[in-house]
Amino acid sequence: MLIAIISDTHDNIPNLKKVLDYCRKQKVEKMIHCGDLATIETLDFINKNFSGEIFFTFGNMDEGHISTYNFKDNQYSHTQIFPDFGHAEIAGKKVAFVHYPDVAKQLCESGEYDFVFHGHTHKPWTEIINNCTLLNPGNVANQYYPPTFAIWDTEKNSFELIRINSLP
């Protein structure tokens, strides 16, 4: 199974469209978004253009926009929304995702997770802490660093960094 890990979209719909087109072509089944969509319209766009399961946690840019939104029952039927940090078991692996790197590091250090994903810095990064892979997929927004996201191949248990500017 392929899973997209993205963060820091900041309402960059043209880049988000490239990510979603890639996901459709590659048959990506799930998406983990580590925060900073910025507005509810971006969450709407993802939900209309990605048919798989979506996991989303709030970032600092979502406060006051998405975090105060009144979510209606079944409005986002294939999206799980986590205000602080999210966690799930995917392909037999315990996964956590959060926006902030300091919280992500603490989650890795807890020993409870195999993988922890985060955003906020906009910089792609990976390291191993206590047998836990800590990964930042970069940013979709094209701010501070070139835009990137990650693909997790659960069968190979590997990650690939995708450069958005290289996508058609």
- Report the range of poorest mean pLDDT among 52-56, 66-70, 118-122: 66-70
| Mean pLDDT value of segment 58-67 | 72
Task: Report the CATH fold assignment for 2-166.
Answer: Purple Acid Phosphatase; chain A, domain 2 (3.60.21)
Q: What is the rounded distance in angstroms from the CA atom of residue 10 to the CA atom of residue 68?
A: 17
| Mean pLDDT value of segment 147-158 | 96
Q: What percent of the chain has pLDDT over 70?
A: 93
Confidence of residue 148 (pLDDT cuts 50, 70, 90): very high
Q: Locate the domains of the chain by residue range.
A: 2-166
- The Cα-based distances of 134 to 30, 74, 99, 119, 138 in angstroms read 19, 32, 12, 11, 13
Confidence of residue 84 (pLDDT cuts 50, 70, 90): confident
Identify the pLDDT of residue 3. Answer: 98
- pLDDT tens string 100-128: 999 999 999 999 999 999 999 999 999 99
Residue 41 is given by DSSP the state H
Q: What is the pTM of this model?
A: 0.92
Strand arrangement, sheet containing 132-136:
85-90, 93-98, 115-117, 132-136, 125-129
The torsion region of residue 64 among left (phi > 0), alpha (psi -120 to 50) and beta comes to: left
What length does the chain have?
168
